[in-house]
Amino acid sequence: MSVLPIVTYDDEVLRKEAKPVDENSKEIQELIEDMFDTMYNSDGVGLAAPQIGKLLRIFVADADPMTDDEGPSFGPIAMINPKITTNSDQEIDMDEGCLSIPGVNATVSRPEKITVSYLDKNFQQQELEVDGWWSRVIQHEADHLDGILFLDHLSLFKRKLLSSKLKEIAKGEKEIDYPIVPKKAQAK
């Protein structure tokens, strides 16, 4: 399969709502495999289709490397048309980063526990109740499908503190170990 370039935070595709996937196809299955290859090549734990320029409601995740030995292990998961159906009232602060915003991390508050319903890679309906890292990753990737970045959860002050790093990414001056496509580089 293929490792695809990841678009950076300043690309408008990341601000659009992704479209539902209506049916399984060879192209969808190849896209999912490419997304896993891209995620693992980039040392990520999640990747949404908009991050590779595809406005489809699909993301892949594998948060097992982040969980401790006591937490549940789900292995690599593809979620098609995911919908978070319940959120716990309790929120937890955790550090987040994003493959589309390389080298930028910040503390984000999110519900600790969620339930998500989705179609799996075989287009079978599934429901999963998760907490900890899995909850965090699923919420982060589901946000991507709605055109939301983790930066949007930060205060204006915190975003201003990150502005120099964001400008470096936008100009294509940030050294990254995986292929990215800054918006300004696309215009050249």
DSSP state string for 29-63? HHHHHHHHHHHHHTT-SEEEGGGGT--BSEEEE--
Q: What is the DSSP letter of 67?
A: S
Question: Does residue 30 carry a catalytic annotation?
Answer: no
∠ CA 40-46-49, rounded to 5°: 100
- Is the CB of residue 90 less than 8 Å from the CB of residue 53? no
Q: Which of 27, 141, 168, 173 is catalytic?
A: 141
Q: How far apart are CA 118 and CA 98, in angstroms?
A: 22
Read off the tokens for 29: 């299955």
Q: How far, in Å, are 1, 57, 109, 128, 165 from residue 19 at the CA level?
A: 24, 6, 27, 22, 31
Q: How far apart are CA 81 and CA 78, in angstroms?
A: 10
Read off the tokens for 187: 């215009």
Active site residues: 141
